[in-house]
Amino acid sequence: MTTEINIGLEGVLVGATAISNVEGDIGRLSYRGQDIHALSQQSLAAVIALVLADKQLTEDEAKAFDAWLAAESELGAVELRVLEQLGRGLHPMAVLQALAPITDTQARNPLPAFLPKELEKALVLAAKQSAIVRAWHNLCQFGSLVELPAGLGFAEKLLYAFNRAQPSAHAVRALETVQILQMDHSFNAGTFAGRVVASTKASLAASIGGSLGALSGPLHGGADEAAVMMAREIGSADQAAAWVSTALANKVKIMGMGHREYRRLDPRAAILKPMARQFCEGTQYQGLMDTLVAVEEACQDEFGKKGKEIHANLEFYKGAVYLALGISEPYFTSLFACARVFGWTAHFFEFNQDPRLIRPRALYIGK
Ligand code: ACO
- Indicate if ligand 1 lies below 6 Å from the C-beta of 298: no
User: Which pLDDT tens digit goes with each residue over 301-332?
Assistant: 999 999 999 999 999 999 999 999 999 999 99
Q: What is the pTM of this model?
A: 0.97
CB atoms inside a 10 Å sphere around CB 62: 21
How far apart CA 93 and CA 222 sit, in angstroms, is 9
CB of 335 shorter than 6 A to ligand 1: no
Query: Among positive and negative, which fits the CA dihedral 40, 53, 157, 225?
Result: negative
Instruction: Indicate if ligand 1 lies below 6 Å from the C-beta of 216.
Output: no
- How large is the angle between the packed helices 223-234 and 314-324, nearest 10 degrees? 80
Q: Which of 10, 29, 192, 219 to mutate to test the pocket of ligand 1 (most atoms within 8 A of CB)?
A: 219
In DSSP notation, 297-356 reads HHHHHHHHHTT----B-HHHHHHHHHHHTT--GGGHHHHHHHHHHHHHHHHHHHHTTS--
Q: Tell me, in angstroms, the distance from the centre of ligand 1 to residue 329's CA.
A: 22
- d(CA 170, CA 49) in angstroms, rounded, equals 22
- Cβ(50) – ligand 1 distance below 6 Å: no
- Ligand 1 atom with minimal separation from the 10 CA: 29
Query: In angstroms, what is the span from residue 337 Cα to ligand 1's centroid?
Result: 21
* Residue 106: count of CB within 10 angstroms of its CB: 9
- Where the chain has pLDDT below 50, the residues are none
Residue nearest to atom 49 of ligand 1 (CA): 220
Residue boundaries of the structural domains of the chain: 20-183
Nearest CA-CA partner of 317 in 161, 177, 196: 177
What pLDDT, in 10s, does the model give residues 193-203? 999 999 999 99
199/274 Cα distance (integer angstroms):
40
Domain 20-183 is found in CATH 1.10.580.10: yes
Please tell me the residue having the least CA distance from ligand 1 atom 31.
260
**Whole-angstrom Cα distance, residue 350 to residue 102?**
23
